[in-house]
Amino acid sequence: MIETEAQARDWLRELPDCDDAAMLRLERLVELLREENQRQNLVSAASLGEVWRRHIVDSAQLLAHVPRGTSPWLDLGTGAGFPGLVIATLRPDCEVRLVESRKRRIEWLERAAHDLRLPHVKVHGARLQDVPSRNAAIISARAFAPLDRLLELSARFSTSDTIWLLPKGRSAKQELQMLRGWHHTFHVEQSLTDIEAGVITGTLQGSAKPVRKGKAS
């Protein structure tokens, strides 16, 4: 379990995806986030004190479940940049599509991707409900919507091969147990950043019920 900022940075340096250039990009992302957080409330001030563990590693740990070269990656409700911007920072050749509906957060994501020189990042500045369907190889979402609602909103971007990566914090097991009406291979992986948290991962084979339209949150 990663408990300190020093452990978080050491863990990142051991990642196959984290060469010197990637580490510099991550340092820059953290610097930009600290600056932007003074202008808008992207993450809590308390979590900024543990930004490497709480946000960077919490995002980067998802890469362990995705073979290199898998693309495109769709991140839903990216907000401050997690996990999508961290993924793009560590795998700059991967096409990463970030979906975010709030104007100031869209502008932040566009500015950060430009500053970090990540040409394969595409920011979809819109409600997810209004984003045109296109198959994704990976779908991630952290703190976006309850699992059932999340699937209703985003199953249309998934094929039976799409890898879903859903950091769900301490509710992971319960949300998965409560899930009804979907054919899937989901299971919960232990989070590296919180002993009580989990990441729901697996594939979605389809729905056994009609899919509703509506708001994410």
Element (H, E) at 166: strand 163-169
Segment interacting with ligand SAM, rule: CB under 6 A, options 86-94, 122-130, 168-176, 181-189: 122-130
Q: Compute the least distance from the CB of residue 43 to ligand SAM, in Å.
A: 6
* Pick 20 or 35: Cβ nearer ligand SAM: 35
Interaction residues for ligand SAM, span 14-53 (CB under 6 A): none
How many angstroms separate the CA atoms of 123 and 95, rounded? 11
DSSP state of 63: G
Q: Which of 28, 120, 122, 127 binds ligand SAM (CB under 6 A)?
A: 127
CA distances from 156 to 133, 153, 181, 205 (A): 6, 7, 15, 11
Question: With binding defined as CB under 6 A, does residue 122 bind ligand SAM?
Answer: no
Q: Is 71 buried (19+), middle (13-18) or exposed (0-12) by CB count in 10 A?
A: middle
Q: Which is nearer to ligand SAM, 16 or 30 (CB)?
A: 30
**Binders of ligand SAM in range 154-213 (CB under 6 A):** none
Report the relative pairing of strands 138-141 and 73-76 from DSSP bridges.
Answer: parallel
In terms of CB distance, is 145 or 163 closer to ligand SAM?
Answer: 145
Token pair 């709480």 in the structure block, residue = 54
Is residue 77 a contact point for ligand SAM (CB under 6 A)? yes
Q: 202 vs 43, 44, 161, CA distance in Å? A: 28, 30, 9
> Distance between CA atoms of 107 and 98, rounded to whole angstroms?
12
> Applying CB under 6 A, which part among 5-13, 60-68, 139-147, 187-195 lies near ligand SAM?
139-147
Of residues 91-110, those binding ligand SAM (CB under 6 A): 99-102, 105
Among 53, 142, 168, 184, binds ligand SAM (CB under 6 A): 142
Local structure of 122: helix, strand or coil: strand
Q: Which is nearer to ligand SAM, 20 or 130 (CB)?
A: 130
Q: Which residue, 103 or 180, is less far from ligand SAM as judged by CB?
A: 103
Report whether the peptide linkage leading into residue 83 is cis, meaning its omega lies within 30 degrees of zero.
Answer: yes
Residue 217 binds ligand SAM, judged by CB under 6 A:
yes
Residues forming the site for ligand SAM (CB under 6 A): 77-80, 82, 99-102, 105, 127-129, 142-144, 216-217
